[in-house]
Amino acid sequence: MLAGMDRTRLTGAVLMGAAVLELLLFLRGLSRGSYAAVAIPAALLVIVISALAFWVGWTLLEAQDELDGLEFAVEPIDDV
Query: Does 56 map to a domain?
Result: yes
Query: Does 77 map to a domain?
Result: no
| pLDDT number for residue 4 | 73
Residue range(s) defining the domain that contains residue 54: 2-62
Query: Average pLDDT for residues 26-35, to the nearest whole number?
Result: 86
Query: Does 73 map to a domain?
Result: no
Residues near 41 by beta carbon (within 8 Å), at least 6 away in sequence: 26
- Kindly report the backbone phi and psi dihedral angles of residue 62, in degrees, each rounded to the nearest multiple of 5, phi listed first: -90, 0
| Total count of domains within the chain | 1
Query: Does 36 map to a domain?
Result: yes
| pLDDT number for residue 80 | 60
Query: Does 21 map to a domain?
Result: yes
Mean pLDDT of the chain: 83
